[in-house]
Structure 1
Amino acid sequence: MLLIAITFFILLLFNMPLGFAIAISSITYFVVETSLPYSIAVQRMVTATQSFPLLAIPFFVLAGNLMNATGITRRLVGFANILTGHLVGGLAHVSIVLSALMGGISGSAVADAAMQARFLGPSMIQRGYTKGYSAGVIALSALITATIPPSLGLIIYGFVGEVSIGRLFLAGIIPGVLMTLFLMVPAYIIAKKRGYRGERIKRASFSEFKSSLRESIWALIFPIILIVGIRFGIFTPSEAGAFAVVYAFIVGRFIYKELTWENFKDVVDKSVTDNGMILLIITAASIFGYLSAYDGLPQTMAHLIKGITTDPIILLFIVLGFLFITGLIMESTVTTLLFTPIFLPIVKSVGVDPVHFGILMMTIVTMGAMTPPVGVAMYTVCSILGCPTEHYVKEALPFIAAILILVTFLIFFPQVVLFLPNLLF
């Protein structure tokens, strides 16, 4: 397995796309270290696509792109502004709350960060916010989409670890709300210190709130419909993705009437590209998953970690610390696909609930997209806003600290994560 790791990182240094880097490094194992037939690599790639739960991913990607093209995002910005625009540093809070609202639509942290950087970033800089602060708020607030359903990361984790996606969706709601509040604290403190003003002179009136809520209601009830539908067996998570596509199409075409044939073609084109990239990574990672099991890597890691401690709390800190470091250098989808089969059995063996671990894991590995040296969301936001990376890193530290404090809190109090799934399932 050392050969795979070395080959993988060498290919990354040469800017090889992730899917190809995983596949090529895994295939080198067949060539150099084993007599296994090459056909197994092809069989594993094909087998990885033959999964009914996996259908949820392309459906939700298409649904998210549809909703972004139908005016829902603009309405949610208005609603977020009604809720928090009067606070000191109003646009920063609008960005954070918008991420919580968008989590139920885009399902992707990078997509949310890119959208907000284009939509809110220029306005924040025009209001006098530093580029580093603006980029830090936008990028780190996008992490909320890692837990708010329908998070694509939770779908992938549930698929790989054979964990109930319905329970994961429910489990992500309270941590997502808490993350919103935790991020608003440093945003407020910094804005207060620097004199960043709110967008509104006073709090919105009830009539303004009611009007904005009416405009945004179709987006706000979407995750509720999904969770209720899955909980009561109306549809499976995969069927929920198909329902999401139909729902987004009807809202965009017949209610908001902003979905035209031209932007529908753009949505399909972008969705095909996004899904192709995700599927390539999934199929390539399946080869690595097979080889790691063949080589006994999960068992070796389990013995190594459990040799250090069997205390669930300490073990969680060790595993999440490893995933945090891994997330700094690997894309979150790849990290989830490669390490879920390794670490999930370990934490389950000491009594950690797989749903609890899934929320913690996806929060930590998704944060890798917001941190150097290879953070996709970080580079996307900094590129759009013209922000030097070193300025971003300095300004993002208080928000990263808030996330780590929240993760620590959730480690010690798993009932916060498990309350809703245990109540409704």
Structure 2
Amino acid sequence: MLLSLGVFLLLLVLGMPVVFAIAIGGLVFFLQQPNLPLTMPVQLLLSETQNFSLLAIPTFILAGNLMNELGVTQRLLRVARVLTGHLRGGLAQVSVVLSLLMGGVSGSAIADATMQARILGPEMVRRGYSAAFVAALQGFSGLIVVAIPPSIGLILYGSIGQVSIGQLFAGGIGVGLLLALTYMVVVAMLARARGYQPELAQRPSAQETLAALWGGFGAVLFPVLLLLSLRTGVFVPSEVGAAAVVYALLVGAIYRELRWERVVRAFRDSVADIGMVAFLIAASALIGYGMKWEMIPQSLSQFLVGIAEDPRIALAVILLGLLLLGTILDSTVMIILLTPILVPTAKALGLDLVHFGVLVVMTSALGLLTPPVGLSMYSVCSVMRCSIEEYVQEGWPLFLAVCLVLLLVYLFPGIVTFLPRLLF
């Protein structure tokens, strides 16, 4: 197994796309095993993508793309502007709230950060914000999407680790709200220090606020309906994504934004997104099988139990390892590869799998924004045309804010577990 992991890391260093590096590394393991037939890798590649619980992923991706195409994003932007535009640093506050609202639509941190950088970035630069600050703000705000349902990361963790996706969705809401609140405090402090002005001259009237809320009501209601349908048993996770697609089409029809070319564009984008995720899941099955064959999950459990009698210390070690690993690996790859190892370890340590899962997914996602391999970082810097050095200089307060939130979630599990216990 060490040779397989070595080949995988070597290919990454040489610049090979990560999915091919994973597949080749996994194939090397089977070539080392004379007792395993070479037909098995092909069977694993096919069988892994036919996991029934993973059906939620393509349907949620399609629902998110449909909502983006059918006018939902612009309505959520109006809601965010009405709620926070009158605050100091108005457009920056609008960005944070929009990410919170978009969590129930896109499910993808990279997609949300890139979209907001394109929509709000040019106007923020005209209002005096530096391009690097805009890039950092949009990138880190995108992490809120990882916590708010329907988070693709939580779906992957729940599907692979056999953990309730409904409870993970409920647990992520508290983290998303805390993260948004922390960002707003940081933005307010930076705005006061740098003289960033409000977006609106005065607080909107009650009539204007109600009009904006009514316009975005269908989109804001989406995560609430999602949780209620799972809690009441109307849908299971593999079905609720399909219901979300129907809901997205209904919302588009109500907003009178339903156009054939927009629907076709949403389907085309979804095919590309789903193909990427499915290819990663299929390729990771090879290395995943090798890890199970070598009993790595059991060895890791014994190691962590041996070095730390207190499960919280073991959890801290795991999270620090994920934080470091996130600097070189994409978060989706980390979740797919490590969930089969970490869930048995968490069970052996007696950790709550919902609290553990939200922490693992959020810590892994932080790697999207840190050098040298941060996909969200590169995406927003490309849109805003700023250097990585400038991005790091402007983004460190937001990075510390995320670390503070993760520390609070680690110290106070109730932030995650309160809502799942209340609902489920």
TM-score w.r.t. the length of structure 2 is 0.98
Name 2:389's counterpart in structure 1: 390
Question: SS of the counterpart of 2:198?
Answer: coil
- 1:388-407 superposed Cα distances (whole Å, 9 cap, x missing partner): 11111111111111111111
Q: CA deviation at 1:340?
A: 1.0
- Specify whether residues 37 and 266 from structure 1 end up closer, same or farther in structure 2 by C-alpha distance, changes over 3 A only: same
Residue range with higher mean Cα deviation, 48-57 or 272-281: 48-57
- 1:372-419 superposed Cα distances (whole Å, 9 cap, x missing partner): 111111100000000111111111111111111111111111112111
Name 1:65's counterpart in structure 2: 65
CA distance in 1, matches of 2:394, 2:186: 10
Name 2:287's counterpart in structure 1: 288
CA distance in 1, matches of 2:324, 2:288: 20
Q: How does 1:260-275 map to 2 (within 5 A)?
A: 260-275=259-274
Question: SS of the counterpart of 2:200?
Answer: coil
Name 1:220's counterpart in structure 2: 220
What is the letter of the counterpart of residue 62 of structure 2? L
Query: Is 1:343 aligned to residue 339 of structure 2?
Result: no
- 1:226-279 superposed Cα distances (whole Å, 9 cap, x missing partner): 110010000111111000111111211x21122311121111111001100000
Q: CA deviation at 1:34?
A: 4.9
Name 2:191's counterpart in structure 1: 191
Work out whether residues 315 and 347 of structure 1, in 8 Å CA contact, stay in contact via their aligned partners in 2. Answer: no
What is the letter of the counterpart of residue 206 of structure 2? F
Question: SS of the counterpart of 1:65?
Answer: helix
Unaligned runs of 5+ in 1: none
**Aligned-residue CA RMSD (Å):** 1.1
Aligned residues, how many?
Answer: 424
CA distance in 2, matches of 1:180, 1:390: 25
Q: How does 1:23-422 map to 2 (within 5 A)?
A: 23-32=23-32, 34-252=34-252, 254-422=253-421
- 1:266-301 superposed Cα distances (whole Å, 9 cap, x missing partner): 111110011000000001111111100101211222
Work out whether residues 182 and 401 of structure 2, in 8 Å CA contact, stay in contact via their aligned partners in 1. Answer: yes
What is the letter of the counterpart of residue 77 of structure 2? V
Residue range with higher mean Cα deviation, 27-36 or 242-251: 27-36
- 1:62-115 superposed Cα distances (whole Å, 9 cap, x missing partner): 000000001110111111011111111111111111111000000000010110
CA distance in 2, matches of 1:201, 1:35: 73
Instruction: Determine what percentage of the aligned residue pairs are the same residue.
Output: 47
What is the letter of the counterpart of residue 131 of structure 2? K
- 1:9-51 superposed Cα distances (whole Å, 9 cap, x missing partner): 2222333222211111110122235542111111111221222
Q: CA deviation at 1:366?
A: 0.8
Work out whether residues 226 and 240 of structure 2, in 8 Å CA contact, stay in contact via their aligned partners in 1. Answer: yes
CA distance in 1, matches of 2:386, 2:162: 41
What is the letter of the counterpart of residue 163 of structure 2? V
What is the letter of the counterpart of residue 116 of structure 1? Q
Question: SS of the counterpart of 1:172?
Answer: helix
